[in-house]
């Protein structure tokens, strides 16, 4: 079998395959001064409006539409968003799915998975625990494992976000994107291929990419913080890391307080609801973790939106 290459050509080929199943999410342009930021125009890519609430749906359909799915169906381990995406994609395609999430997964994500009709298994404290349980199930049943980030099909699917964004905002100099296992930033870096700056933003409590850059390879990192249900695997992906190094991506850290403030600012300033992991990239701008140069045109990926942060019952 020919090994898939995670590059512009691969992303361009996968995009029409998944296009009928995904949304072309909008962008909104805002001024840095609206948030007290020393920056000009900021372009927000509103991927929390994607099916299942995050960019993960792109990678989920890329897997299910290009790989052979056995009678046992599909299985996925997730902090929540990937599980919701695979469950959504499986339901849309009429396939059985079993989703494994840890106990830290938010109630909003658990409820979203349950609404799809997928079988849900909640156990363990972290993503790594859910992944171990999923691996046991796959070995026993022959189900198709859909990895949350460290799989070529997953990265190619996530890369379609960048293909879409370049068409919507062709003059960007920089894109800021939250990092957990790295599937999204890997896909984005592969699409832009060094033509613009791609900067990963991760919580101080879960510095997977920073640890990998320091060691020169993926290594274990802490797995805590407010965004632990979306940005806290043990380490950056083994397939992801070479793509990031090849294209010269950078990384910055943000605090949990900065992420909380970014959530509030997005809601108060633009009425955008984003979960902690979906707000991390914007937190880098708001907190000064990333400071644009004069005239630098910055894009920010906002994803996902599976949160109960806004209470509509009052």
Reading the chain (314 residues) residue by residue, the pLDDT tens digits are: 356 899 999 999 999 999 999 999 999 999 999 999 988 899 999 999 999 999 999 999 999 999 999 999 999 998 889 999 999 999 999 999 999 998 888 888 899 999 999 999 999 888 888 989 999 999 999 999 999 999 999 999 999 999 999 999 999 999 999 999 999 999 999 999 999 999 999 999 999 999 999 999 999 998 889 887 777 788 999 999 999 999 999 999 999 999 999 999 999 999 999 999 999 999 999 999 999 999 999 999 999 887 776 665 54
CA-CA distance, 294 to 28, in Å (whole number)?
21
Task: Determine the longest span between alpha carbons in the chain, in angstroms.
Answer: 56
C-alpha 276/C-alpha 259 separation (Å) is: 6
171, part of any domain: yes
d(CA 28, CA 244): 27
Domain that holds residue 248: 8-55+151-302
Which residues, including other chains, have CB under 8 Å from residue 82's CB and lie 6 or more apart?
56, 59, 60, 76, 146, 148, 149
- Between helices 152-168 and 56-66, what is the axis angle to 10°? 130
* Same domain for 91 and 14: no
Q: Are residues 130 and 267 in the same domain?
A: no
207 and 125 in a common domain:
no
Does any domain span residue 311?
Answer: no
CATH number, position 289: 3.40.50.1100
> Per this entry, what is the length of the chain?
314
Return the closest-CA partner of residue 189 out of 235, 147, 234, 237: 237
Residue 312 lies in a domain: no
The Cα 193–Cα 173 span in angstroms is 13
Tell whether 44 and 162 lie within a shared domain. yes
Q: Is 244 a member of any domain?
A: yes
Note whether 193 and 177 are same-domain residues. yes
Please state the domain count of the chain.
2
Predicted TM-score of the model (pTM): 0.94
Question: What is the distance between the alpha carbons of residues 242 and 277, in angstroms, rounded to a whole number?
Answer: 23
């Amino acid at each position: 079998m020919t090994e898939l290459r995670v590059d512009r050509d691969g992303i361009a080929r996968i995009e029409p395959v998944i296009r009928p199943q995904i949304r072309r999410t909008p962008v909104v342009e805002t001024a840095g001064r609206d948030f007290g930021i020393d920056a000009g125009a900021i372009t927000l890519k509103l991927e929390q409006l994607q099916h299942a609430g995050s960019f993960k749906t792109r990678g989920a359909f890329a897997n299910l539409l290009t790989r052979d799915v056995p009678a046992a169906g599909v299985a996925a381990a997730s902090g929540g968003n990937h599980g919701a995406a695979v469950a959504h994609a499986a339901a849309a395609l009429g396939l059985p799915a079993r989703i494994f999430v840890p106990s830290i997964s938010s109630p909003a994500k658990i409820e979203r998975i349950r609404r799809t009709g997928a079988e849900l298994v909640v156990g363990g404290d972290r993503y790594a625990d859910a992944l171990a349980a999923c691996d046991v199930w796959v070995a026993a049943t022959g189900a198709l494992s859909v990895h949350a980030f460290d799989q070529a099909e997953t990265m190619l699917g996530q890369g379609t976000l960048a293909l879409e964004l370049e068409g919507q905002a062709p003059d960007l100099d920089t894109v800021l994107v939250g990092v957990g296992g790295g599937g999204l930033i890997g896909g984005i870096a592969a699409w832009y291929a060094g033509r613009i700056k791609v900067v990963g933003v991760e919580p101080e409590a879960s510095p997977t990419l920073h640890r990998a850059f320091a060691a020169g390879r993926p290594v274990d990192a802490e797995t805590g913080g407010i965004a632990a249900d979306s940005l806290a695997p043990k380490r950056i992906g083994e397939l992801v890391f070479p793509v990031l190094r090849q294209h010269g991506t950078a990384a910055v850290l943000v605090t949990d307080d900065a992420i909380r403030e970014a959530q509030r600012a997005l809601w108060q300033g633009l009425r955008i609801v984003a979960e902690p992991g979906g707000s991390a990239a914007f937190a880098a701008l708001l907190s000064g973790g990333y400071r644009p140069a004069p005239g630098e045109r910055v894009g920010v990926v906002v994803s996902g939106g599976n949160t109960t942060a806004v209470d509509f019952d009052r």
